[in-house]
Amino acid sequence: MAEYVSYLRVSTQRQGQSGLGIEAQRAAVDRFLASSGGTLIAEYVEVESGGKKARPVLVQSIALARKSNATLLIAKLDRLGRNVAFVSSLMESGVDFVAADMPCANRLMIHILAAFAEHERSLISERTKAALAAAKARGVRLGQNGAVLAEQHQAEALAFAMGLKSEVQAAYASGAQTISEVADELNSGGFRTRRGVLWSPGTVHRLLGRLRS
């Protein structure tokens, strides 16, 4: 019977403390193990931004997987991060790994998805900088009035929306046809709005609007 070491990651300390996201990832791991008949020998949880290269907990999980001749199991492919070089180094580590949400993905597909995620992160950064630069060009004193705070709020809202893009796409791919059904998918997956509450058709509508902008 195959043995697995699971790696779960959330992007913020708040998510890590509340369990939001972790529970959904753990459930995905359990479903994968139930269908594959594998055995989980260890679980690692890391609270770290996907854009950062330093992942000490991931390094530990890889080390155990290598030592135990086990497969590294990631609940969601995007949990690996948004850095092509990082994903490439993992692929070259010699440790087999699989994503519970995309078990049939080959190494080429994983590399391509990582490239798209890295590009998406770059676009978010560029949009944030452009919004702040536009405010400054209009004579707004950055950080000292409500106009800048509004600009920052919009940039943060867009970044949050882009971070959920793959989940929205997955909801539609799984059969969701209405915004109510998308809300149900996000809620059942453990995802919450920026305010930390359940999704509703209204909040999903605003989310989709930001993704189309």
Indicate if 200 belongs to the active site. no
Phi, psi values for residue 65, rounded to 5°? -60, -40
> 71 - beta bridge partners?
4
Give the torsion through C-alpha atoms of 87, 1, 100, 27, to 10 deg. -130
Rounded Cα distance between 29 and 31, Å, is 5
Annotated catalytic residue, options 11, 18, 36, 200: 11
- The residues, ordered by sequence, that sit 6+ positions from 144 with a Cβ below 8 Å of its Cβ are none
Cα-flanking dihedrals φ and ψ of residue 31, to 5°? -65, -40
Alpha carbon distance 89, 55 (integer Å): 12
The H-or-E segment that residue 29 falls in is: helix 22-36
**Cα–Cα dist 92/115, whole Å:** 16
Residue 79 CB coordination number (10 Å): 21
Structure tokens belonging to residue 111 = 């590399």
The span from the CA of 162 to the CA of 123, in Å, is: 10
Q: Which two tokens stand for residue 205?
A: 């509508």
| Residues annotated as part of the active site | 11
